[in-house]
Amino acid sequence: MQKEKEIELLLNREQIPYRKGEPMKDHTSFHIGGGAAFFVTPRTEEELRKTICEVKPLAPLFFLGRGSNLLVSDQGLDTVVVEIGKEFSDITFPEEDSILVSAGASLLRLCAEAKERGLTGLEFAYGIPGSVGGAVYMNAGAFNGEMKDVVEYVDYLDGDGVLHRIEGETLGFGYRKSFFTGTDFCILRAKIRLQKGNREEIEQKMEELLARRKLKQPLEYPSAGSTFKRPEGAYAGALIEQSGLKGRLVGGAMVSEKHANFLINYDHATCADMRALIRLVQQEVKEKTGYQLECEVLFLGE
Ligand SMILES: Cc1cc2nc3c(=O)[nH]c(=O)nc-3n(C[C@H](O)[C@H](O)[C@H](O)COP(=O)(O)OP(=O)(O)OC[C@H]3O[C@@H](n4cnc5c(N)ncnc54)[C@H](O)[C@@H]3O)c2cc1C
The string of pLDDT tens digits covering residues 249-294 is 999 999 999 999 999 999 999 999 999 999 999 999 999 999 999 9
Give the residue from 83, 107, 141 where a domain finishes. Answer: 83
Q: Is 104 in the pocket of ligand 1 (CB under 6 A)?
A: no
d(CA 246, CA 256): 6
Whether 278 is covered by a domain: the verdict is yes
Q: How far is the CA of 190 from the centre of ligand 1 (A)?
A: 15
| Spacing of C-alpha 102 from chain mean position | 15
For residues 104 and 75, state if they share a domain. Answer: no
pLDDT of residue 169: 87
Q: Is 63 in the pocket of ligand 1 (CB under 6 A)?
A: yes
For residues 184 and 284, state if they share a domain. Answer: no
Whether 227 is covered by a domain: the verdict is no
**Residue 111: how many CB atoms within 10 A of its CB?**
21
pLDDT of residue 1: 77
Could you tell me what percent of the chain has a pLDDT over 90? 98
Beta-ladder partners of 157? 163, 186
Give just the sign of the alpha carbon dihedral 101, 104, 107, 113: negative
Give the residue from 83, 110, 144 where a domain finishes. Answer: 83
- Report the nearest-CA residue for atom 21 of ligand 1: 135
Domain range enclosing 69: 4-83
Residues of the chain with pLDDT under 70: none
Q: Is 110 in the pocket of ligand 1 (CB under 6 A)?
A: no
Q: Is the pTM of this model over 0.85?
A: yes
Helix (H, G, I), strand (E, B) or coil at 164: strand
Q: What is the DSSP letter of 181?
A: T
- Report the nearest-CA residue for atom 6 of ligand 1: 128
279 is an active site residue: no
For residues 77 and 103, state if they share a domain. Answer: no
Give the residue from 57, 83, 109 where a domain finishes. Answer: 83
Helix (H, G, I), strand (E, B) or coil at 47: helix
d(CA 200, CA 18): 43
Active-site residue, selected from the candidate residues 73, 223, 226, 243: 226
| Total of domains in the chain | 3
- CATH number for 278: 3.90.78.10
For residues 24 and 101, state if they share a domain. Answer: no
d(CA 151, CA 169): 9
pLDDT of residue 302: 84
**Residue 146: how many CB atoms within 10 A of its CB?**
20
- CATH number for 176: 3.30.465.10
Half-sphere exposure of 205 (CA within 13 A, CB side): 21
For residues 59 and 109, state if they share a domain. Answer: no
226 is an active site residue: yes
Q: How far is the CA of 5 from the centre of ligand 1 (A)?
A: 32
| Percentages (nearest 5) of helix, strand, coil residues in the chain | 35, 25, 40
Whether 229 is covered by a domain: the verdict is no
Whether 33 is covered by a domain: the verdict is yes
C-beta of residue 250 within 8 angstroms of C-beta of residue 273: yes
Angle value at C-alpha 42, between 51 and 40, nearest 5 degrees: 70
